[in-house]
A and B are shown apart, each in its own frame.
Chain A
Amino acid sequence: MRKSLSIIVIILFGIFLSLIAIDLTFGVPDNTGMDDYFIQNGQEQIATNNIVTTVVFDYRGFDTLGESTVLFTAVIGVALMYRKLIKGDADENE
């Protein structure tokens, strides 16, 4: 009884999600102003064929700087943690 009930709930939830997914329109956003600007002017302004790299490293370069800083901080954290774990290894990790 309990099993059949859960199966029915799962099927209903699946139908619910499918109805949402059918209504979605992929690749057709409402506001395309920024995308059009990047595609139109990226090659002329930055002289790059890869528009994704243009956005990541030039138009949104500040975001990438934060990303690199997060990676740096994460590595420092891992190094500190293992330095505490391994007592005898401390001098070599200086």
Chain B
Amino acid sequence: MRMSKIVRFSADMLFGAILIFGFYIIMHGHLTPGGGFQGGAVVATGAALVIVAYSYEEVLGMIKKAGLMLQESAGLVMFAGVALIAIGLGTTFFFNFLANSGSLFGMSVPYGPNSGELNTAGVLPLMNIAVGIEVWGGLAIVILYMLSGISKAEEV
């Protein structure tokens, strides 16, 4: 049971904007309010919009359950992996080895209020991205599973 053409067209138009907004929240987690959890939830909202607008069978062709499961697992592994790399470098678990190093995300920040720079904060953006991948995969797959239960129950 798919929605009307107006709803589907609006969902198509909004889907890209919602995804970009979610990616923006994830990438600016160390500068603005928000972060991996909130941005991942926004991206999952975009998936929910498409799932509501189209029928379950059509959505299965667009969004793969195996891919979402893989993203969820990969996000968690990446999060723990970034924390484990610090042990490999001879420091403690969760040590921020990239901060103030001058390499990737390694710029320094002056004390006090300032406009901020995207290329700062060390491993925090990497962890935000990892958590974002995990949250959008997890929430989207929960929505997909719940919808699959509804559609099967209606047929019986």
Contacts and interface: CB of A to CB of B under 8 A. Distances in A.
Interface of A: 43-50, 52-54, 56-58, 61-62, 64-65, 67-69, 71-72, 74-75, 78-79, 82, 85-86, 88-89, 92-93
B152 A71 contact: no
Interface residues of B, number: 49
Interface of B: 29-33, 35, 37, 65, 69, 72-73, 75-76, 79-80, 83, 93-94, 96, 99-100, 106-112, 114, 116, 120-124, 127-128, 131, 134-135, 138-139, 141-142, 145-146, 148-149, 152
Contacts of A75: 72, 138-139, 141-142
Contacts, number: 111
A45 B101 CA distance: 11
B135 A65 contact: no
A65 B82 CA distance: 11
A79 B141 contact: yes
Contact of B99 (A46, A69, A74, A78): A46
Contact of A64 (B93, B131, B148): B131
A70 B107 CA distance: 33
Given A62-B93, A92-B65, A82 B148 contact: yes
Contacts of A49: 30-31, 109, 114, 116, 120
Closest 6 CB pairs of A and B: A61-B94, A75-B138, A82-B145, A48-B121, A49-B116, A47-B109
B124 A53 contact: yes
A56 B122 CA distance: 14
Contacts of B109: 43-44, 47-49
